[in-house]
Amino acid sequence: MPRPRKSEEAPPGAPLWTQTYGDFMSLLLCFFVLLFALSTIDVARFKEVISSIQGALGVLEGGPRVLQPSDIPVPKPPTQINPSGLVELKLAGLQREIEKKLIEEKAISPEKVDIKIDERGLVITFLDNVFFDLGSADLRPEMIPVLHAVADVLKGIDNSVRIEGHTCDLPINTPRFPSNWELSAARAIAVLRYFVEEEGMSPERLIAVGYGQYRPLVPNLDEEHRRKNRRVEIVILRGKEA
C-alpha cells in the first residue's frame, strides 16, 4: 500500500500575502501624502494629520519624529499691489495716451498745454488764451480738435472728470460776467457742454467749477504771469466720485 503523504506545513513567520498588503498600504499612504502636499497647507490641519499618522504608526507623543510640522514651509500669499499704485499706473498710462493724441492732432503747441499727475488726479492744463479770447467764454473753433482728442481718451474710462476755470486778477464787469467768478465758471461750463453735446459723454461723470482769480499758479505780477493764470484745467479724478 502507498504511504499517505504528510500534509505540508506552513512556513514559519507571517503569511506571504501580508507583504503585498503592506506594500499596497505604503503606496496608498504615499499617495495621500502627495495629495496633501499639493493642496494649500493649513498649519492647524497639517498638525492634526501628522498627529493622526503618528498615532496610527504607534509613535508616542514627545518621542523622536521623522517630520516636524515646523519643518514644512508654509507658502506665503503673493505680494499685494497697493491700490494707490494701481491708480498711479492707470493715470500714467492715460497721460501717455493723451500726449500721443495731441501730438497726432498737431492742433496745439507744446508750450500751451501741461499734463501732470498730482493729488487730484491727471491734470491737463491749457494755458493762456487756448480755448477762449480775453474776456470771452465762447470756444474758439480751431480748438475743437484738441477737445475732441481729449474726449476720445475720456470716453474709454469711467473716472469722473472735473473741468476747472481760472482767470487772472484783472477785474471784469459786464452784463454777462459781473466778476471773474462768472467768467471762470462759464468757461468751464462751455467745455463741459462740448463734451456732453458734441462728444456724447455722460453728464453724470462731469463737474464744472469756476475758481475766478483765487487759485493762481503764480503771483499776478505782470502780464506774463497773468497769462499762466488764465487757464482751463481738465482733471481726470482718481475714481468715479468727485
Q: Nearest Cα to 144, choosing from 127, 136, 162, 132?
A: 132
Q: Which segments within the chain are labelled E, that is strand?
A: 113-117, 121-127, 161-166, 206-210, 231-237
Query: What tens digit of pLDDT does each residue of 162-204 get?
Result: 999 999 999 999 999 999 999 999 999 999 999 999 999 999 9
Q: Measure the CA–CA gap between 206 and 195, rounded to whole angstroms.
A: 9
Burial class of residue 83 in the structure, from the number of CB atoms within 10 Å of its CB (0-12 exposed, 13-18 middle, 19+ buried): exposed
Q: Please provide residue 175's backbone torsions phi and psi, each rounded to the nearest 5 degrees.
A: -55, -35
Query: What tens digit of pLDDT does each residue of 218-234 get?
Result: 999 999 999 999 999 99
For residue 81, the one-letter residue type is I
Q: Please provide residue 40's backbone torsions phi and psi, each rounded to the nearest 5 degrees.
A: -70, 130
pLDDT band, very low/low/confident/very high, at 111 (cuts 50, 70, 90): confident
Task: Supply the pLDDT for residue 28.
Answer: 77
> Is residue 91 within 8 Å of 117, Cβ to Cβ?
yes
Q: Count of residues for the chain? A: 242
Can you read off the three cell numbers belonging to residue 106?
498737431
What does pLDDT average to over the chain? 82
> Between 83-105 and 144-154, two packed helices, what is the crossing angle to 10 degrees?
150
Angle in degrees, CA 218, 223, 224, rounded to 5:
60
Q: Measure the CA–CA gap between 81 and 227, rounded to whole angstroms.
A: 41
pLDDT at 109 over 60: yes
Domains of the chain: 17-71 (no CATH), 83-237 (3.30.1330.60)
Q: What is the CA radius of gyration of the chain?
A: 38
Query: What tens digit of pLDDT does each residue of 66-99 get?
Result: 455 555 555 555 545 556 678 899 999 999 999 9
> Is residue 94 within 8 Å of 102, Cβ to Cβ?
no
